[in-house]
C-alpha cells in the first residue's frame, strides 16, 4: 500500500512538472526587468544632405544627452523602449572644408513594439524640432520626423541608427535627408 501511495505521488508530481514546463513554453520567455535612466551621455556621427543646388554632403560628429530613457517588456500600455533627448552636432561640407553647419534639436524616439522580448533590432519612430545654421545657406528652425532601429538596447548601453528628412521652416534650401548613428552609455 505504501509503495502504491509513493508511486501515485511521484506520478502526480511528474504530471504537474510536465504541465508547468508546457505552460512556460507556451507563454515564452519571461520579460526583462523594466528600467529607466536619466541624463545619459551619448556620441553620434551625422550625415546630412541639404537639397540646395551645389551644396555638398555634410558629415560630422555630435553629442547627445538622453534626458530620459526606458525599457519595459512587461505587460502594460505604451512603447516598450524609448528616449527623450537633446543633441547638438557640428558638420563640415565634404567638398569645401571651410563650409560648416551647426545642428541642434530636441525630441523623442519610441519603439513600434509595445513589449519586445529582445534587446536588438527593435524598430522605432522619432520626432524632433530644432534649429540649423549653415555658413553658406543661412539658418532656420526645422521639424525632423524619422525612423530607425535600436541596434542594441540593454540596460547601460544603447546603439541606434536613425534616418529622416529635415524640413527647414524658413529656408527651403536647408531641407534634406539626415542620418545618424548614436552610442549611449549610462554610467549610473
How many separate helices (H) and strands (E) can be counted in the chain?
1, 8
Tens-place pLDDT, residues 98-137: 888 999 999 999 988 777 778 889 999 999 999 999 887 7
Domains of the chain, residue spans: 1-30, 35-185
| φ, ψ dihedrals at 2, nearest 5° | -65, -40
Q: What does the pLDDT average to over 145-153? A: 94
* Phi, psi (deg, nearest 5) at residue 31: -65, 150
CATH of the domain spanning 35-185, picked from 3.40.50.11540, 2.70.98.20, 3.90.420.10, 2.40.160.20? 2.40.160.20
The alpha carbons of the chain give a radius of gyration, in whole angstroms, of: 24
pTM of the entire predicted model: 0.75
Amino acid at each position: 500500500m505504501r509503495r502504491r501511495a509513493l508511486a501515485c505521488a511521484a506520478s502526480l508530481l511528474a504530471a504537474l512538472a510536465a504541465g508547468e514546463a508546457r505552460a512556460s513554453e507556451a507563454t515564452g520567455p519571461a520579460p526583462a526587468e523594466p528600467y529607466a535612466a536619466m541624463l545619459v551621455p551619448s556620441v553620434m556621427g551625422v550625415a546630412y544632405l541639404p537639397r540646395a543646388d551645389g551644396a555638398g554632403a555634410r558629415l560630422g560628429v555630435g553629442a547627445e544627452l538622453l534626458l530620459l530613457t526606458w525599457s519595459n517588456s512587461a505587460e502594460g500600455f505604451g512603447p516598450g523602449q524609448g528616449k527623450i533627448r537633446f543633441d547638438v552636432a557640428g558638420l563640415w561640407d565634404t567638398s569645401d572644408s571651410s563650409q560648416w553647419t551647426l545642428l541642434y534639436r530636441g525630441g523623442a524616439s519610441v519603439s513600434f513594439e509595445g513589449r519586445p522580448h529582445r534587446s536588438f533590432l527593435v524598430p522605432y519612430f522619432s520626432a524632433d524640432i530644432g534649429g540649423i545654421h549653415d555658413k553658406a545657406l543661412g539658418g532656420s528652425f526645422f521639424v525632423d520626423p524619422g525612423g530607425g532601429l535600436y541596434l542594441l538596447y540593454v540596460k547601460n548601453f544603447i546603439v541606434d541608427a536613425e534616418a529622416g528628412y529635415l524640413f527647414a521652416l524658413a529656408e527651403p534650401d536647408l531641407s534634406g535627408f539626415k542620418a545618424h548613428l548614436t552610442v549611449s552609455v549610462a554610467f549610473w
